[in-house]
Structure 1
Amino acid sequence: MSTFLYKADPVRGRQWAEIFAREQPDLEFRIWPDIGDPEKVRYLAAWVPPDDLEQRLPNLQVVFSTGAGIDQFDLSAIPAEVPLVRMIEPGIVDGMVEYAVFSVLALHRDMPAYRRQQAQALWHPLQVRAAHERRIGVLGLGSLGQSLLERLRLFGFDCAGWARSQRSIEGVTCFAGAQSLDAFLARTDILVCLLPLTEETRGMLGSRLFNALPRGAGLVHVGRGQHLNAADLIAALDTGQLGEAILDVTHPEPLPADHLLWRHPKVWITPHIASVTRPDTAAMAVLDNIRRFEHGEPLIGLVDRARGY
């Protein structure tokens, strides 16, 4: 009997174990560090894999990330012939879309400004803009970005997206490549970052990018904390180049209690809760990929190591 090894939150692991026992009882399920016979381990799901992976699990066939990203992985430590699969499941997509739609609507309808006015007992209506007059731009056009744009279009927003390679999405103006980034930013009133973290995107949310946006633009950051240069964000907010920022990710996490972002009046912070995997749907997504692997079918979420996502 082959073994599936889970190395992440053990509480969620026990929930996965129940689903595996019901759906694929011929696959032994173990939770790290109880790995059993290491030579029987064919599949590993982990947030961070164990050290010496190739020596420790010599017959490993597939590695699954328990999260949507893989930037926490040392790709050089995973054998080149072993597929690495990131998590794509309905719980992640639905949660991210909910959070990002909420954030865009909050900025569109000036909710952060009204919260500041409430603290001053100030009754002062602000001018309302129609959704079709508000230009939304999404950085990153993977499954999350496409799902978000599909939902935002229903409100009538003028939607655009940017990715490294060309995409085509109905009702969305798509930009591709570094040469088109400034044009994308120039037409974006509210920017949503859903980029994967790579060496090219690390620190991308900095002064150069902020200065390319229309003055007073809003930022919704739900990518990775390392995308953001916090000092540049604070400077852009202080000068009015950016109007508001909603951050669900920071670097480091948790953000130190004395960090200036906590107390900035134009920043909302949530503790990386925009989207989390649901144990039931995540386990079923992995089981589906195992079946695909065993039948020689394409894996959903297969990582392109050259691109880093």
Structure 2
Amino acid sequence: MPLNILFAASEDRWQAYEAPLREALSDIGQGDANLALDIPAAEVDYIVYAPSSEVQDFMPYTRTKAVLNLWAGVEGVVGNDTLTQPLARMVDDGLTQGMVDWVVGHTMRHHLNTDLHVMNQDGKWRRYVPPLAPDRPVTILGLGALGRACGEALAGLGFPVTGWSRSQKDVEGLRCLSGDEGLVQALSDAQIVILLLPQTPDTENLLNAARLDLLPEGAVIINPGRGPLIDDDALLSALDSGHIGHATLDVFREEPLPAEHPYWAHPKVTVTPHIASETRPKSASRVIAENIRRGEAGEPFVHLVDRSLGY
């Protein structure tokens, strides 16, 4: 009997994903699967899911073997008490490469102080000679798949990279720290800080006033992770005082960022519209299909969310 796979996401996502998902399912021998936007709950075998979906009560999905998230972030669904099925987050080579591209690009922008010239085409000869990469310490908060990949890429360019995580990790070429004491060390000499942590109760406002004070004067904040990782009022205050030199922010507590938010007009803030890394339908579809293949073969699912940790 063909599998029933519910695509629980928006119509525009369906238009982008239908063809690559069907191709990926065909590649694993499930070309006859019933992939659709509307399937009776009791008949659904797998849910391809966006947390913004209308599906919020998972109790009727009694046959469902797994919920396969389209995005890396699962904070919008992991706390749902009705979700008892296995939940897999998106870990995708395309998403990872996109994040590396964005992070390296903005790190280099700040390292070279490109804005000085791009924003000041006024006939004045402004000489700025940046330090070499080995003299520019970078700290990455979060050493999951994205943080690790970005850290390795920056280390490959010669930057001394410190990676911090709540539990100790070991990544070749990076100084890896953990715990509260490790966080103090990681921030104390960081000229550029990149936030790539998941959003959990433990990480909310991780970068607060006290931790911003630990950074060297003029340090730069780059946040492509999650908006609530930063205490917005504390960051604005640190920018106004000059202690923080600039903040490039791709994620926010409320999205789209309201037009009246002070970040928009602040001269030391760059806003990008949550574009640091977008899930690519073709590569993401292969990740989803692989988990379906595993489920049908009786093999363990990959990229499962640990509900106790929230990611």
**Which TM-score applies when normalising by structure 1?**
0.93
C-alpha distance in 1 between matches for 2:245 and 2:220: 5
C-alpha distance in 2 between matches for 1:299 and 1:240: 48
> Following TM superposition, by how much is the alpha carbon of 1:121 offset from its aligned partner in structure 2, in angstroms?
4.5
CA RMSD of aligned residues (A): 1.6
> Following TM superposition, by how much is the alpha carbon of 1:116 offset from its aligned partner in structure 2, in angstroms?
4.2
Aligned match of 2:8: 7
C-alpha distance in 1 between matches for 2:176 and 2:260: 40
Could you tell me which amino acid in structure 2 is paired with residue 45 of structure 1?
Answer: V
Q: Which of 204, 208, 221 pairs up with 1:219?
A: 221
1:306 and 2:308 correspond = yes
> Following TM superposition, by how much is the alpha carbon of 1:242 offset from its aligned partner in structure 2, in angstroms?
0.7
Aligned match of 1:140: 142
C-alpha distance in 2 between matches for 1:304 and 1:74: 9
> Residue 48 of structure 2 aligns to a residue in which SS?
strand
Aligned match of 2:170: 168
> Following TM superposition, by how much is the alpha carbon of 1:284 offset from its aligned partner in structure 2, in angstroms?
1.0
1:91 and 2:94 correspond = yes
Aligned match of 1:28: 34
> Residue 197 of structure 2 aligns to a residue in which SS?
coil
1:52 and 2:57 correspond = yes
C-alpha distance in 2 between matches for 1:298 and 1:176: 29
Judged with a 3 Å threshold, the aligned counterparts in structure 2 of structure 1 residues 157 and 74 are, in CA distance, closer, same or farther, namely closer
Q: Which runs of 4+ in 1 moved over 4 A?
A: none
C-alpha distance in 1 between matches for 2:195 and 2:22: 38
Identity in percent: 35
C-alpha distance in 2 between matches for 1:259 and 1:38: 41
> Residue 5 of structure 2 aligns to a residue in which SS?
strand
Aligned match of 2:103: 100
> Residue 80 of structure 2 aligns to a residue in which SS?
helix
Mapped contact 1:88–1:300 kept (Cα < 8 A): no
Aligned match of 1:75: 79
Larger displacement relative to structure 2 (291-300 or 22-31): 291-300
> Following TM superposition, by how much is the alpha carbon of 1:230 offset from its aligned partner in structure 2, in angstroms?
1.6
Could you tell me which amino acid in structure 1 is paired with residue 223 of structure 2?
Answer: H
C-alpha distance in 1 between matches for 2:21 and 2:215: 48
Deviations 1:239-295 (A, max 9, x none): 111111111111211111121111111111100011101111111110011112222
Deviations 1:33-87 (A, max 9, x none): x22x3222011111125132112x221110111111001115233443x110001
Aligned match of 2:245: 243
Could you tell me which amino acid in structure 2 is paired with residue 176 of structure 1?
Answer: S
C-alpha distance in 2 between matches for 1:112 and 1:260: 20
> Following TM superposition, by how much is the alpha carbon of 1:127 offset from its aligned partner in structure 2, in angstroms?
3.0
Deviations 1:210-244 (A, max 9, x none): 11111111111011111122221111111111111
Gapped regions of structure 1 (runs ≥ 5): none
Q: Which of 203, 206, 209 pairs up with 2:208?
A: 206
Aligned match of 1:159: 161
Deviations 1:93-112 (A, max 9, x none): 11111000001001101123
1:19 and 2:14 correspond = no
Could you tell me which amino acid in structure 2 is paired with residue 198 of structure 1?
Answer: T
C-alpha distance in 2 between matches for 1:58 and 1:172: 45
C-alpha distance in 2 between matches for 1:67 and 1:79: 17
Mapped contact 1:2–1:40 kept (Cα < 8 A): no
1:192 and 2:197 correspond = no
Mapped contact 2:247–2:270 kept (Cα < 8 A): yes
C-alpha distance in 1 between matches for 2:156 and 2:94: 21
C-alpha distance in 2 between matches for 1:101 and 1:172: 16
C-alpha distance in 1 between matches for 2:307 and 2:9: 22
C-alpha distance in 2 between matches for 1:245 and 1:280: 32
Mapped contact 2:5–2:33 kept (Cα < 8 A): yes
C-alpha distance in 2 between matches for 1:296 and 1:208: 49
